[in-house]
Structure 1
């Protein structure tokens, strides 16, 4: 096998990971309209930058509680909390989708709860990588849509900038994000995407404990790396209402934000392929913000 072919093969999982990000963004855009119609906004005032601060504080508190639970050997609390959050997010996603039908509110509630519980049960009993990825796509798109319709452009940009700084500190300086990721991986929960290097890979059987120099059998990307930039994509498409929409679906600033996300991911991929853990949000959030600005300039629309 030539070195060129080997190089292409090595990059295939990362290309697939980029595809997952794009799918999350497209599904989030589809969910945004019915979620607005169903008044699923997380914040009352989408223009308030204080919402971004509250979001950051919530993340810090949640991270601290997760780390404390891990140190005390209380993994069941982490698992229960995340499974409840996953189930609730999936309920909102399916409720929003089914609201597009002529189904009654009572029937919609019953069906949405049933689907959410079935998928959560499947996740608990059989957390294989394709189950993790499928449910990750659903909750990733759902969370992105909810916060995208809840925060206008400026609060989102503030949020993404602060999160990029926090992620860099948590990965490169304190390294607690790496410890958290490794601890939670053992619980097989959909807080990350898993892309195997070969089809025989099993996420359930993976011990995640590798000797120094030994390669992992799969690539992993935190769910937040897909959610955070997608919030700006959705926000741009929802709050810039007077801009030209391609095919009536997406405006140019939102499309620019999508392209910027993938450009940031491409840079991140090059560094990850060198074998060292990287903070994803500085690249992804930076890419989506620059892409959004480029889309604004190209489309001739207001910045916010």
Structure 2
């Protein structure tokens, strides 16, 4: 194995562990999120849902790009901070909702959100960003996963494959967005250091400067959330009684999780070039293929009426 490969093995393994942790935590959040009534759409089967999701995402992206162009860094930080705080609040409060009364659960959720935001503001190290990122990604995946049945999720993942490829390779606006938000040191990206001495707080991370070697690998939070949405949806809508499971995880959901991880492994080949790569064409495709293979193994086709 080459020196470059040996150096890359640990951070690449770190990315795989991040995806695994996000997927498993999103599965653990299914029950508390459902009990708390945190669904995003009224009708999980509606084919319009993925298009509504994509439209909202495009509007939010356009807003952030305008703010980046206007150099409104404080406004960007405020918007993203509020969004992250809300997700953390809902995730933490729903996790403990079944064990403590509603009012204390809400106060604990608020306290957790404030603590995480303060840590991100005053000590934005890569490990703080990654831990909060896992919590946020798993929470988003659980909320949207229980709100979208299988067919809308598959449509959404396919649409995002196309969108991610175009936004990175053609319009390149995703690179501008990521770089602008990274300057605020907010966790829309997971940061995986190449060396133990790396400090995101001191070094930062820029996608615009491609001349010097970066001290860390970066992967978007969306690259973790989207396959996890399929994992959660598969557990809810393609699992159930009579479906083979492993440690309580329905095989179609496990297939989506493993497929997403394999897709991430395949992403590492072009990632070696050092140039930004769209992750969803590899990761979403892997998750979809893994899900379909395990549906074939278990005969779990009820989600398409078979």
- Give the TM bin, normalised by the shorter chain: over 0.9
Runs of 4+ in 1 over 4 A off after TM superposition: 209-212
Alignment map for 1:140-155 (pairs within 5 Å): 140-155=137-152
Counterpart contact for 2:94–2:105, Cα < 8 Å: no
Tell me, in whole angstroms, the C-alpha distance in 2 between the residues paired with 1:285 and 1:212. Answer: 27
CA drift of 1:246 comes to: 2.6
CA change 1:207–1:247 in 2 (3 A) is closer
Residue equivalent to 1:169: 166
Tell me, in whole angstroms, the C-alpha distance in 2 between the residues paired with 1:243 and 1:145. Answer: 23
CA drift of 1:8 comes to: 2.4
Residue equivalent to 2:271: 272
Counterpart contact for 2:244–2:298, Cα < 8 Å: no
Aligned to 1:194, the other structure's residue is in SS state strand
Tell me, in whole angstroms, the C-alpha distance in 1 between the residues paired with 2:230 and 2:209. Answer: 39
Q: Unmatched 5+ residue regions in structure 2?
A: none
Aligned to 2:217, the other structure's residue is in SS state strand
Quote the RMSD (CA, aligned, Å): 1.5
Aligned partner of 1:130 among 127, 131, 136: 127
Alignment map for 1:102-251 (pairs within 5 Å): 103-208=100-205, 212-240=210-238, 241-247=240-246, 249-251=248-250
Tell me, in whole angstroms, the C-alpha distance in 2 between the residues paired with 1:72 and 1:292. Answer: 43
CA drift of 1:293 comes to: 0.2
Tell me, in whole angstroms, the C-alpha distance in 1 between the residues paired with 2:167 and 2:210. Answer: 22
Aligned partner of 2:59 among 58, 61, 68: 61
CA drift of 1:207 comes to: 4.2
Q: Is 1:99 aligned to 2:94, yes or no? A: no
How many residue pairs match? The answer is: 301
CA drift of 1:6 comes to: 4.3
CA drift of 1:213 comes to: 3.8
Residue equivalent to 2:290: 291
Q: Unmatched 5+ residue regions in structure 1?
A: none
Tell me, in whole angstroms, the C-alpha distance in 1 between the residues paired with 2:275 and 2:202. Answer: 23
Which region of structure 1 is more displaced relative to structure 2, 170-179 or 110-119? 110-119
Counterpart contact for 1:243–1:251, Cα < 8 Å: no
Counterpart contact for 2:227–2:260, Cα < 8 Å: yes
Aligned partner of 2:87 among 89, 109, 127: 89
Residue equivalent to 2:256: 257
CA change 1:97–1:71 in 2 (3 A) is same
CA drift of 1:248 comes to: 5.5
CA drift of 1:245 comes to: 4.7
Q: Is 1:50 aligned to 2:48, yes or no? A: yes
CA drift of 1:271 comes to: 1.0
